[in-house]
Amino acid sequence: MKYDDLLQAGKIKKQRVSGAEIDRALARAERDLKTARLVMAGDWDWGFAIAYNAVLQASRALMFAEGYRPGSHEGHKNTFAFMHIAMGKSCEDLIAYFDRVRNKRNQAIYDVAGMISETEAKNLFTMATDFVARVKKMLGGKK
């Protein structure tokens, strides 16, 4: 699959985004990591959700840098469809993991409170921290 396939399906749209907007998305990702660490001390579900949001914001920053935004319908899902392409084969398992996290986060927030374990929350936090750092490194020269 290529970006053109996502464009044709309406999953992403081309849009010029400023460096400031890319910076804001990265700053939100970093803020969310700090907040997730604090919240996890008392609530694994919300800590998990906030760590997930850090991944989403870093992913959006990369999308913006490439000149795209998610389509208006299923924005989170479409962001990860984009990331599968943007990050390439070497990150396929990682992006698939984050997409599964997206589904679990939806359940934890909207359906079943208390379903996220300490291990799940801490694992996501670690992976989210690494991912945000990776995206920041990738964007070093793209803004």
Residues 62, 44: Cα–Cα separation, whole Å: 27
Helix (H, G, I), strand (E, B) or coil at 69: strand
Q: What is the pLDDT of residue 68?
A: 96
| Residue ranges per structural domain of the chain | 3-139
> Which homologous superfamily does the CATH classification assign to the domain defined by 3-139?
Nucleotidyltransferases  domain 2 (1.20.120.330)
Write down the residue that tokens 């935004």 correspond to: 69
Q: Is there a contact between 69 and 13 (Cβ–Cβ < 8 Å)?
A: yes
DSSP H stretches of helix in 1-143: 3-8, 19-40, 44-65, 75-87, 92-110, 118-139
Q: What is the pLDDT of residue 102?
A: 87
Q: What is the pLDDT of residue 107?
A: 77
Instruction: Identify the segments of the chain with pLDDT beneath 70.
Output: 141-143
Q: What is the pLDDT of residue 72?
A: 79
Q: What is the pLDDT of residue 113?
A: 78
> pTM of the predicted model, to two decimals?
0.91
Residues 52, 46: Cα–Cα separation, whole Å: 10
Which residues, 6 or more positions from 142, have their beta carbon under 8 angstroms from its beta carbon?
A: 22, 65, 66
Q: What is the pLDDT of residue 78?
A: 92
Q: What is the pLDDT of residue 1?
A: 74
Q: What is the pLDDT of residue 120?
A: 94
